[in-house]
Structure 1
């Protein structure tokens, strides 16, 4: 018997045994509501929960962009200021990692809404900046 024909033994503490009812991880993009996003059993092949997951991932991407544009308090160098900035950064990074883990489900719907959330958030943050800068320049312009 050739070694190529022999089944590979499963290590004793392996989670890859054939007796477990674990699903294999998808390794290529696919469409559909049959996906696991962040937590086992969610959205649980339910169309309504899948749509909720899409909104949730969109909001996460949007929130990452909005938090990345939050004003920094640079004038004060106190401990409270540094801690608040570090806390805001930690929250932003946690949300960014949740978006990344959601996209790792390889579901095209999740991928599209994650990118759309980042895009809409970036657009809204940068749309406000030029308008605010133009308002400030008009009030400071002595020719007006």
Structure 2
């Protein structure tokens, strides 16, 4: 694999694993881009969700620590994808973050709508 000193575009890139998808054809390159898209989408969705509840009981502390570890792992994997400096990978990461933001925002707006306040009663009618 040739070393690149800046942004570049091409299918001869190694993403996350040594030797993959380099030399395996375009199908594996697009499969790797799909993996990067999904990772960045999940990373954005995790970034938008609250990390802890107001009162953490000691029993659930291990669950919160494991969730934090998973969030950090996914964020680092996305970072490792970006440092390939491949323009296609960087665009895929950005599109994944946008899709994750839209998906979670639309889900929250649809399933948890903001309640509409009732107008105050008119004093003249009372």
Task: Indicate how the Cα distance of structure 1 residues 79 and 27 shifts in structure 2: closer, same or farther if over 3 A, else same.
Answer: farther
Find the partner of 2:42 among 47, 63, 68. Answer: 63
The list of structure 1 runs, each at least 4 consecutive aligned residues, that deviate by more than 4 angstroms after superposition, is none
Of residues 17, 21, 31, the one that matches 1:43 is 21
Provide, for residues 60-97 of structure 1, a one-character-per-residue CA deviation record: whole Å limited to 9, x for no partner: 00011122233545254212322212211111111111
User: Given the alignment of the two structures, is residue 28 of structure 1 paired with residue 1 of structure 2, yes or no?
Assistant: no
Q: 1:101 Cα deviation (Å)? A: 0.6
Q: CA deviation at 1:127?
A: 2.5
**Cα distance in 1 for residues equivalent to 2:45 and 2:26:** 29
Deviation of residue 129 (structure 1)?
3.1
The TM-score, its normalising length taken from structure 2, stands at: 0.80
CA distance in 2, matches of 1:72, 1:93: 12
- Paired position in structure 2 for 1:123: 102
Partners of 1:29 and 1:106 within 8 A in 2: yes
Cα distance between partner residues in 2 of 1:107 and 1:56: 15
Structure 2: distance between partners of 1:130 and 1:74: 21
Q: Which runs of 5+ in 2 are unaligned?
A: 120-126
Query: RCO higher in 1 or 2 (8 Å CA, sep ≥ 6)?
Result: 2
Structure of greater Rg: 1
